[in-house]
């Protein structure tokens, strides 16, 4: 493994003292905010400054830019997947599914800049992207199946088709976030089962 192919999973699993964990989270939060603001080319020094840590602290946690980007990307996917796991079986299957897709659309919108920068280091079939796609499918597919079993969603729809639809929605240029939400509502309405 070359220095540009740092294993993000190794970085995330490395045991840390409480203060080191806090610094790690501060750096991820600062990087997330920078990318959410569309600042793809933000220097690591600026991210360290935003996080309130020294550049050495940043490099101890993330030895290079790619490692930081991978950790941030993986962290974002884990949060989206975790949000699906938090939806209990007692929740209305349609509400659970549509609520998760709203969260997914918000995630897709904020990760676009991050993914674009990661493509400077990785190709689309890189293990990081493959494992993240698999995690999203594992999180969302049971929600779709549960809504189908409850008769709330058309039975002729596969999760891969719905994911393609969601990704297409995020590519619609919309200066107004309300417009994206409206398009999502229209798309989700098309998923509903109608006898």
Cα separation of 164 and 129, whole Å?
16
* Cα gap 31→26, rounded to integer Å: 9
Q: How far apart are CA 186 and CA 172, in angstroms?
A: 14
SS3 153: strand
The pTM for the full model equals 0.80
Q: Please state the domain extents for the chain.
A: 3-191
Fold of the 3-191 domain: Tetracycline Repressor; domain 2 (1.10.357)
Q: What is the mean pLDDT of each run of 10 residues along the chain (195 residues)?
A: 40 62 91 76 88 93 92 91 85 93 84 80 90 94 95 95 90 76 90 86
Q: How far apart are CA 64 and CA 11, in angstroms?
A: 12
Opening angle at CA 165, ends 181 and 191, nearest 5: 80
């Amino acid at each position: 493994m070359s220095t540009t192919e740092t294993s993000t999973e190794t970085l995330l699993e490395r045991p840390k003292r409480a203060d080191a964990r806090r610094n790690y989270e501060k750096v991820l939060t600062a990087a997330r905010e920078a990318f959410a603001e569309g600042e793809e080319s933000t220097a690591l020094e600026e991210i360290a400054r935003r996080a309130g840590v020294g550049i050495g602290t940043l490099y101890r946690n993330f030895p290079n830019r790619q490692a930081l980007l991978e950790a941030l990307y993986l962290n974002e996917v884990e949060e989206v997947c975790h949000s699906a796991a938090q939806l209990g079986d007692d929740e209305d299957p349609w509400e659970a599914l549509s609520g998760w897709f709203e969260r997914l659309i918000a995630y897709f919108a904020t990760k676009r800049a991050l993914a674009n920068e990661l493509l400077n280091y990785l190709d689309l079939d890189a293990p990081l992207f493959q494992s993240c796609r698999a995690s999203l499918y594992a999180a969302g597919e049971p929600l779709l199946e549960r809504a189908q079993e409850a008769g709330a969603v058309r039975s002729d729809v596969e999760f891969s088709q719905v994911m393609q639809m969601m990704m297409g929605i995020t590519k619609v240029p919309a200066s107004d976030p309300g417009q994206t939400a409206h398009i999502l509502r229209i798309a989700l309405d098309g998923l509903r089962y109608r006898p």
